[in-house]
């Protein structure tokens, strides 16, 4: 784990949280890691609303993000959309997958140990 991500990992999980050190949910984690990587962060509803108003297909990702076709070969910077009982998202950074969950809090798992299947993978391709 890189030193600059410890503050994210020490942030409590709160649904809707967007403030490092105060509260984060999975989208908050993805957005902050993306921002630190210099990528436009997926923002959910604001991008979806803008796309709908423009008559485009709404994804929750700003321009430049492209949905990848399976089978997925994950690489740094990829954003994963996670299905299941508690749907969520995650981002790959530095060989680790960063996400948050109410039961586990904000956490990072080595990519080699990540075993949760993604329903979608998005990659920034300007």
pLDDT in tens, 93-105: 999 999 999 988 9
- Pairing mode, if any, of strands 23-24 and 18-19? antiparallel
123 close to 78: Cβ distance less than 8 angstroms? yes
Q: Is 3.20.20.60 the CATH number for 3-124?
A: no
pTM score, two decimals?
A: 0.88
**Domains in the chain: boundaries:** 3-124
Q: Is residue 109 helix, strand or coil? A: strand
Question: Residue 46: pLDDT band by 50, 70, 90 thresholds?
Answer: low
Bond before 71 cis per omega within 30 degrees: yes
Contacts 24+ apart (CB under 8 A), 12-16: 12/105, 12/106, 13/100, 13/101, 13/102, 13/104, 13/105, 13/106, 15/102
pLDDT in tens, 57-99: 656 778 899 999 999 899 999 999 988 877 889 999 999 999 9
Between the CA of residue 24 and those of 10, 65, 67, 69, what are the distances in Å? Answer: 10, 22, 24, 29
pLDDT in tens, 1-17: 456 899 999 899 999 89
């Amino acid at each position: 784990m890189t030193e600059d991500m410890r503050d994210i990992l020490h942030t409590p999980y709160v649904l809707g949280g967007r403030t490092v050190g105060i509260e984060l949910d999975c989208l908050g984690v993805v957005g902050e890691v993306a921002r630190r990587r210099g990528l436009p962060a997926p923002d959910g509803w604001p991008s979806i609303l803008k796309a709908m108003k423009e008559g485009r297909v709404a994804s929750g990702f700003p321009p430049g993000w492209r949905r990848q076709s399976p089978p997925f070969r994950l690489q740094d910077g990829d954003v994963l959309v996670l299905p299941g009982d508690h749907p969520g998202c995650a981002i790959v950074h530095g060989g680790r997958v960063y996400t948050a969950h109410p039961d586990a809090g904000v956490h990072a798992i080595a990519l080699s140990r990540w075993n949760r299947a993604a329903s979608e993978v998005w990659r920034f391709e300007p």
